[in-house]
C-alpha cells in the first residue's frame, strides 16, 4: 500500500475501510456517508444526526474522523469508524442510542457496538462510550492488511460535553490525552526492515533474509 501522507489518499483509504466494515458488520446495509477529516477537539470522531451533505440529488450524513487523531494506531482509528457506523445503523433503524445532546451513550449503543467487535466500557459522564478494538476486530484489520495512517493534525485532544454537538466518537479515558497504546505488536526484520503486525507474541521469520523478526519498540 502507498503511504497515506496526502489528505486525498487518506480520504480514499478511509472510504475503503468504511466499505469493508460495512460489508462485514452491517451486511452492506449502511447508506454511505460523506467521510471527512476535520478538527474535532473534544472527540475522536462524529456523525451528524441530519443529512448535511448534498451529493447530486441525494443528501448524506457526515462521518468525521478527527484530524488530530489520524496517526493513532490503525486499530484505534478503525474502532472509531465502527463506533460512528453503529450510530449510523441505529439512526437508520430508528433506535435512539444517545441522550444529553448526543453525549451519553446508552445500553442500546453498547449492545450494538459489542455485537460488532468493539470493547465498550462505561464512564459516568459519557455512558457506554469508551471504545477499544477487540481482539476479533484487530484480527480482521490484520487480515485486511490495513496499516497506520502516516499523517495527522497537531492539536490538543481532550473530552468535554459541548452543547449542540452531534454524536461523538470514542473519547479518551478520563484524565488522559494523546495517543493510546497500540493493540497489536509490530515485528521488524533486522536486515531488510520488512514488518508484520500480530495481536499476540509470535515468532516470525523473514524468508528472504532467514532472520527472525524482532519486536519493534
Helix, strand or coil, per DSSP, at residue 203: coil
Q: Tell me which of 57 and 87 has the higher pLDDT.
A: 87
pLDDT for position 166: 42
Same domain? For 99 and 86 the reply is yes
Reply yes or no on whether the pLDDT at 155 is more than 80: no
- Is residue 2 in a domain? no
Q: Tell me which of 159 and 26 has the higher pLDDT.
A: 26
The pLDDT confidence band at residue 146, using thresholds 50, 70 and 90, is very high
Reply yes or no on whether the pLDDT at 195 is more than 50: yes
Please tell me the distance from the alpha carbon of residue 128 to that of residue 122, in angstroms, as a whole number. 4
Reply yes or no on whether the pLDDT at 4 is more than 70: no
Same domain? For 122 and 207 the reply is no
Same domain? For 124 and 206 the reply is no
Same domain? For 170 and 199 the reply is no
Average pLDDT of every residue of the chain = 82
Reply yes or no on whether the pLDDT at 179 is more than 60: no
> Whole-model pTM?
0.73
Reply yes or no on whether the pLDDT at 178 is more than 80: no
pLDDT for position 13: 95
Length of the chain: 217
Number of folded domains in the chain? 2
Helix, strand or coil, per DSSP, at residue 49: coil
Same domain? For 101 and 188 the reply is no
Same domain? For 136 and 214 the reply is no
Return the residue matching grid coordinates 476535520. 38
Which residues does 197 contact at the CB level (< 8 Å), separation at least 6? 142, 184, 185, 186, 187
Same domain? For 217 and 137 the reply is no
Same domain? For 96 and 23 the reply is yes
- Alpha-carbon dihedral 62, 66, 71, 72, rounded to 10 degrees: -100
pLDDT for position 163: 34
Range of the domain at 192: 184-217
Give the burial string for 144-180 (b: 16+ CB within 10 Å, else e). Answer: eebebbebbeeeebebeeeeebbbbbbbbeeeeeeeb
Q: Tell me which of 84 and 101 has the higher pLDDT.
A: 84
Same domain? For 39 and 125 the reply is yes
Average pLDDT over residues 74-100: 96
Same domain? For 106 and 195 the reply is no
Helix, strand or coil, per DSSP, at residue 126: coil
Reply yes or no on whether the pLDDT at 214 is more than 60: yes
The pLDDT confidence band at residue 150, using thresholds 50, 70 and 90, is confident
- Is residue 21 in a domain? yes
pLDDT for position 169: 46
The pLDDT confidence band at residue 56, using thresholds 50, 70 and 90, is confident
pLDDT tens digit string along 88-104? 999 999 999 999 888 89
- Is residue 100 in a domain? yes
Amino acid at each position: 500500500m502507498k503511504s497515506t501522507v496526502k489528505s486525498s489518499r487518506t480520504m480514499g483509504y478511509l472510504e475503503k475501510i468504511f466499505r469493508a466494515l460495512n460489508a462485514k458488520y452491517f451486511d452492506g446495509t449502511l447508506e454511505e456517508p460523506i467521510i471527512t477529516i476535520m478538527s474535532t477537539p473534544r472527540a475522536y470522531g462524529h456523525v451528524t444526526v441530519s443529512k448535511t451533505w448534498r451529493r447530486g440529488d441525494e443528501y448524506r450524513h457526515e462521518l468525521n474522523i478527527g484530524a488530530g487523531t489520524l496517526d493513532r494506531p490503525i486499530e484505534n482509528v478503525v474502532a472509531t469508524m465502527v463506533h460512528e457506523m453503529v450510530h449510523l445503523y441505529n439512526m437508520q433503524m430508528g433506535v435512539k442510542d444517545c441522550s444529553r445532546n448526543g453525549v451519553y451513550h446508552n445500553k442500546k449503543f453498547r449492545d450494538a457496538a459489542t455485537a460488532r467487535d468493539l470493547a465498550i466500557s462505561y464512564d459516568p459522564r459519557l455512558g457506554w462510550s469508551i471504545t477499544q478494538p477487540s481482539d476479533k476486530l484487530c484480527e480482521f484489520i490484520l487480515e485486511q492488511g490495513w496499516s497506520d495512517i502516516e499523517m495527522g493534525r497537531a492539536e490538543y485532544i481532550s473530552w468535554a460535553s459541548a452543547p449542540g454537538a452531534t454524536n461523538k466518537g470514542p473519547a479518551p479515558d478520563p484524565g488522559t490525552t494523546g495517543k493510546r497504546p497500540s493493540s497489536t505488536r509490530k515485528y521488524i526484520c533486522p536486515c531488510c526492515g520488512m514488518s508484520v503486525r500480530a495481536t499476540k507474541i509470535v515468532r516470525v521469520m523473514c524468508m528472504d533474509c532467514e532472520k527472525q523478526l524482532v519486536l519493534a519498540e
